A and B are shown apart, each in its own frame.
Chain A
Amino acid sequence: MGLSWNNNRYGEDKVSDACGLFGMMDTSGKRFSAKDPVKAMINMHDRGNGLGAGFAVYGIYPEYKQYYALHIMYMDKIAKANTEQFLNDHFKVVFEEEIPTREANVWNPPILWRYFVEPKKPSISTISLDDYVVDQVMRINTETGKSFVFSSGKDMGVFKGVGYPEDIADFFRLDEYEGHLWTCHSRFPTNTPGWWGGAHPFNILDWTVVHNGELSSYGINKRYLEMFGYKCTMQTDTEVMAYTFDLLMRKQKLPIELVSKVLAPPLWIEIEEMPSKKRETYESLRQCYGSLLMNGPFAVIVAHKGEMIGLSDRIKLRPFTAGVKGDILYLSSEQAAIRAVSPNLDKVWNPKGGEPVVGRLKEILFEEMAVKKVATTI
């Protein structure tokens, strides 16, 4: 069997898998190496089966900070040539290179290349630069068939493939990178052969999602998102999860405190007990976004610039734990993985189902506050 470029060769409703998650963030912005994240993932070896693993690392390209970093995998050289033509038509490529790798115990790697680009957005176009980039990424991923953009944010990168986490880290030479936020994933797919693009994290712009779960509500989650123009081409729960965060947080600008109550709302009997204003808010969320309730087991770590969010389903059917040591926030499927890298935690707890755990970069917070202050004085 050659390199399969199809995530769903059996044409199932969706690809289902279970997984191990780990997230680690230094909220002071200090960058750290892959050592701890990889060690934690090794500790959770049995949560994956070697059919997919990956890492998202934030703060790794300070020298190209203002450019979108596109990580692309190609099935063959023709696809690469065609896609590069497309890139040159739609972007100014500032720098490109093969993604550095080394021999490792991974399965059948594709051609891997990265590009630092500036969008060539037509001046008459009224969409934002971000939306322009999203459109081009979607086109490459759905139209070319043999090229896949697996990372498209600024000053961050996704590294993923078919293998166990430690092998993927080895292959991508992650020991040579430092970042202030790492999210990690190990896959246990039940109905799909490993495909490099199908591993987590899932990414669009600087948003990444690592996810463990099987959504019983997938059928309607997908149909709801389709109304807003999303095409669920990967047929996975994770994709639905990623688009939901994109719709609610990036496009509709809802705060994570409310987004988490869309995905994992409190029970109606709990809502009825709330004070009137809060009750109105929660009622309206369920009325309006009922189709985005993620029903069934999930635990998810979502990250974007300066923020890491952990969340599990409303009745907590997947394990999810959090820990703090100094400025460092840990999120993990298993507490043992956190303890493996940080035995003396200041605090460790099991967040309740539907209660988000949020880590934010302190300096970003200052930046945002400054912006707010300026806005109010104007």
Chain B
Amino acid sequence: MITHSQPEFVVERDQDLCLRCKVCVNQCAYDTHSYDPEEDVIVNKDENCVNCQRCVTFCPSKAIEIKQNPSKFKENFHWTQEAVSGIKLQSETGGIILTGMGCNKPEFTYWDRLLLNASQVTNPSIDPLREPMELITYLGSKPNKLKFENSDISLETKFSPQIRLETPILFSAISYGAVSFNVHQSLARAANEVGTLFNTGEGGLDRRLYKHGKNAIVQVASGRFGVKPDYLNAGAAIEIKIGQGAKPGIGGHLPGEKVEQDISKTRMIPVGTDALSPAPQHDIYSIEDLRQLIFALKEATDYTKPVSVKIAAVHNSAAISSGMVRAGADIIALDGVRGSTGAAPRIIRDNVGIPIELAIASVDQRLRDEGIRNKASIIVGGGIRSSADVTKAIALGADAVYIATAALVSIGCTICQKCYTGKCPWGIATTDPYLVKRINPDIATRRLVNLLRGWNNEIKEIMGGMGINAIESVRGNRLSLRGVGLSERELKVLGIKLAGE
């Protein structure tokens, strides 16, 4: 069968600049470039190129450019390039179209239609370079009131376990196996250095990283990979993963070829076997089952750690979240439609779930309407690109945000969306021993730390402008937001006013 598909990209090499050094040949994991010794030229297989920019970055003479293939099907606003090439691909394979990373459709982003406030005249803005600006955030269930013994003002009220963060930004779940040990280690070390948490994802925690446990949220997902008493007790918090934004309602599949020795040990499965995560947790078919798992985990860790429950933001997230809080969750983690993944059916990624902005607004408001907002913290994720997105998420009602794509971008990822191939040329979403060496944990840690420092400084600038010197005064402060280009109904769900109002 001759393929009807066309290459998505074309590689343009300036033969005058090319040194024939073969860096591109060695760097490409998809065999796009090859050296022809007879002609002494490097030639391309355009159909292999994923536009990851690895060769472009490393070419010493800057001889390479990757371009969108100018040869396209006839332009049609309904039958888009993606729709037509998808059909062609499926008619040749009969399979589900896979993709990586988060939804890339233009429609679902509200962040860019939200604007932040600043102080003018009636209250002063504050200069964060000269005055303290506080980002410290505590996650965990809070009481509605405090009681003190009168005599010496000592606290009578017992608190549920709390986690202190130096910044309201955490690294979201990225499982060991989906990414390499070097990546996991870098996330752990960066979280430690900055004073925040990383999330192990569903693949367990390598024994060598247990020393970073106090900076880890250990995840318990439907496959229960690596879940054992040591693991639960190693973390600062436990997260039950019900779903993720990139593939709500869908399970996971780590191919056997990625399961090498260390991953096999950590995940507690034989080398080379596929790691299948069922779509649901098979001991949670209802909310009361969730309560049992929450308390089983609390029992296992002697009530010393907050338990988070992570769901994909879906149509009735508000009601589900309310149930989760009543079931005993100390933290609600919401992952929006733009949430990322190592592998998901494209049709699910781009069509299931709701934008995180709307989910935060409705969940926060519902918990307040029911008087239980203090009982749980809210962490949100799914396409957070900048410190402005972080601040807007917090102003809408989140306690903290999860970032994963932004973190991976900081260490090399270019969002080519081919993670599911396991051949990440940047050495991130791969366990190939040749490729994983491309992540140097020292350098990757420094990049992650720099990113968080930069964002922290920017959040402080934004807060200072608003005349606010503690992050808790931004949290849920929707009057600090205005919307542009939004319908009355959208403004209502977001709980904000139109700019100019």
Contact, CB under 8 Å: A296 / B467: yes
Does B73 make an interface contact (CB < 8 A)? no
Q: Is the CB of B501 within 8 A of A220?
A: no
The stretch that binds B, out of A67-75, A163-171, A210-218, is: A210-218
On chain A, the number of residues with a Cβ less than 8 Å from chain B's Cβ atoms is: 46
Q: List B472-501 residues whose CB lies under 8 Å from chain A.
A: 472-480, 497, 501
Q: With A and B bound together, what is the CA distance between A267 and B480 in angstroms? A: 23
B119 at the interface (CB under 8 A from A): yes
Indicate if B124 sits at the interface (CB-CB under 8 A).
yes
Known: A216-B466, A267-B134, A281-B155. A291 touches B148 (CB 8 A): no
From B152, B157, B501, give the contact of A11 (CB < 8 A): B501
Within 277-328 of A, Cβ neighbours of B (below 8 Å) are at 277, 280-281, 284-291, 293, 295-297, 314-315, 317
Within 8 A of A (CB), among B144-167: 144-146, 148, 150, 152-155, 157, 159, 162
Is the C-beta of B16 less than 8 angstroms from some C-beta in chain A?
Answer: no
Q: Contact at A219–B477, with CB atoms within 8 Å?
A: yes
A254-B148, A281-B155 as given contacts; A216 in contact with B132, CB under 8 Å:
no
Tell me if A95 is interfacial: C-beta within 8 Å of chain B: no
Q: Could you tell me if A268 and B136 are in contact, using CB atoms closer than 8 angstroms?
A: yes
Residues from chain B with Cβ under 8 Å of A296 in the complex: 119, 123, 467-468, 473
Instruction: Tell yes or no: B40 within 8 A of A by CB.
Output: no
Closest CB in chain B relative to A17 CB, distance in Å: 8
Q: How far is the CA of A215 from the CA of B468 in the complex (A)?
A: 9
Chain A residues whose CB sits within 8 angstroms of the CB of B143 once the complex forms: 288
Residues of B within 8 A of A314 (CB): 469
User: Which one of A216, A254, A295 contacts B146 once the chains associate, using CB atoms below 8 Å?
Assistant: A254
**B473 and A216 contact, CB distance less than 8 A:** yes
Q: Which residues of B contact A265 (CB under 8 A)?
A: 470
Q: Which of B131, B153, B162, B470 contacts A281 (CB 8 A)?
A: B153
Contacts of B468 in A (CB 8 A): 216-217, 295-296
Q: Closest chain A residue to B126 by CB distance?
A: A315
Q: How many residues of B contact A (CB 8 A)?
A: 45
Q: Which of A224, A265, A286, A288 has the most CB of B within 10 A?
A: A288
Once the chains bind, are A257 and B142 in contact (CB under 8 Å)?
A: no
Query: Are A227 and B472 in contact (CB-based, < 8 A)?
Result: no
* Distance A288 CA – B156 CA, assembled complex (angstroms): 13
Q: How far is the CB of B476 from chain A (nearest CB, A)?
A: 5
CB <8 Å contact, A284 and B472: no
B138 at the binding interface (Cβ < 8 Å)? yes
CB nearest neighbor in A for B159: A284
Query: Across the interface, do B155 and A220 meet the contact criterion of CB distance under 8 Å?
Result: no
* Residue from B144, B162, B479 having most chain A Cβ neighbours under 10 A: B479
Among B119, B138, B373, point to the contact of A216 (Cβ < 8 A): B119
Q: Are B124 and A277 in contact (CB under 8 A)?
A: no
A257 touches B480 (CB 8 A): no
Question: Residue B122 at the A interface, CB < 8 A?
Answer: yes
CB-defined contacts of B501 to chain A, threshold 8 Å: 11
Residue of A nearest to B466 (CB): A216
Tell me if B480 and A252 are in contact (CB < 8 A).
no
User: Which residues from A are CB-within-8-Å of B134?
Assistant: 267-268
Minimum distance in angstroms from A273 CB to a CB of chain B: 14
Shortest B463–chain A CB gap in Å is: 9
Q: Report the separation of the CA atoms of residues A224 and B142 in the bound assembly, to the nearest whole angstrom.
A: 13
Say yes or no for A13: interface residue by CB 8 A criterion: yes
A217 nearest CB neighbor, chain B only = B473
Decide if B315 is an interface residue (CB 8 Å cutoff): no
- Asked whether, in the complex, the Cβ of B155 is within 8 Å of the Cβ of A280, the reply is yes
**For window 266-309 of chain B, which residues contact chain A by CB distance below 8 Å?**
none
| Residue A24 is within 8 A (CB to CB) of chain B in the complex | no
Number of A-B contacts (CB under 8 A): 117
Contact A317 B153 (CB under 8 A): no
The residue of chain A having its C-beta at the shortest distance from the C-beta of B136 within the complex is A268
Contact between chains at A288 and B146 (CB < 8 Å)? yes
The residue on A at minimum CB distance from B121 is: A190
Tell me if A269 is interfacial: C-beta within 8 Å of chain B: yes
Q: Flag if B467 contacts A284 (CB, 8 Å).
A: no
Q: Quick one: which of B426-474 are within 8 Å of A by CB?
A: 466-470, 472-474
Minimum distance in angstroms from A62 CB to a CB of chain B: 31
Q: Does B37 contact A (CB under 8 A)?
A: no
Residues on B with beta carbons closer than 8 Å to the beta carbon of A293: 470, 472-473
Point out the residue from B146, B374, B479 that lies within 8 Å of A219, measured CB to CB.
B479
The complex places the Cα of A285 from the Cα of B143 at a distance, in Å, of 10
Residues of A within 8 A of B157 (CB): 284, 288
**Closest chain A residue, CB of each to CB of B145:** A252
Is B385 located at the chain interface by the 8 A CB criterion?
Answer: no
Interface assignment of A358: CB less than 8 Å from any CB of chain B: no
Provide the residues of chain B in CB contact with A277, threshold 8 Å: 152, 154
Nearest Cβ in chain B — how far from A13, in angstroms?
5
CB <8 Å contact, B122 and A214:
yes
CB distance from A320 to the nearest CB of B (A): 15
**A172–B477 alpha-carbon span in the complex (Å):** 40
Q: Which of B123, B132, B142, B480 contacts A214 (CB 8 A)?
A: B123
Contacts A13-B497, A291-B475 hold; do A281 and B138 have CB atoms under 8 A apart? Answer: no
Bound: A227/B131 CA distance, A:
32
**Cβ-defined contact, B472 with A290, below 8 A:** yes
Query: Considering the complex, which residues of chain B in the window 111-127 have a beta carbon less than 8 Å from any beta carbon of chain A?
Result: 119, 121-124, 126
Contact check, A219 vs B480: say whether CB atoms are below 8 A apart.
Answer: yes
Cβ of B228 within 8 Å of any chain A Cβ, yes or no, is: no
Do A297 and B472 touch across chains, with their CB atoms under 8 A apart?
no
The winner among B122, B143, B468, B476 for most chain A CB atoms within 10 A is: B122
Kindly report which residue of chain A lies nearest to residue B153, judged by CB atoms. Answer: A281
CA distance A258 to B122 in the complex (A): 28
Q: Judging by beta carbons under 8 Å apart, are B470 and A295 in contact?
A: yes
Question: What are the residues of chain B within 8 A of A11 when measuring CB–CB?
Answer: 501
- Residue A199, interface by CB 8 Å: no
Question: Any chain B CB within 8 A of the CB of A120?
Answer: no
Closest A residue to B482 by CB, please name it: A13
For the complex of A and B, the 8 pairs showing the least CB-CB separation, nearest first, are: A219-B479, A290-B472, A217-B473, A295-B473, A219-B477, A216-B467, A214-B123, A220-B477
With A220-B474, A228-B371, A252-B145 given, can you name 16 additional A-B contacts, CB distance below 8 Å? Answer: A13-B479, A190-B121, A190-B122, A219-B477, A220-B473, A220-B475, A227-B374, A258-B148, A284-B159, A285-B146, A287-B159, A288-B374, A293-B470, A295-B469, A295-B470, A296-B473
Could you pull out 17 A-B pairs where Cβ atoms are within 8 angstroms? A13-B479, A14-B479, A16-B122, A214-B122, A216-B123, A218-B479, A219-B476, A223-B476, A226-B368, A227-B371, A228-B371, A252-B146, A258-B148, A281-B155, A288-B374, A291-B475, A297-B467
Interface residues of A (CB under 8 A from B): 11, 13-14, 16, 18, 190, 213-220, 223-224, 226-228, 252, 254-255, 257-258, 265, 267-269, 277, 280-281, 284-291, 293, 295-297, 314-315, 317
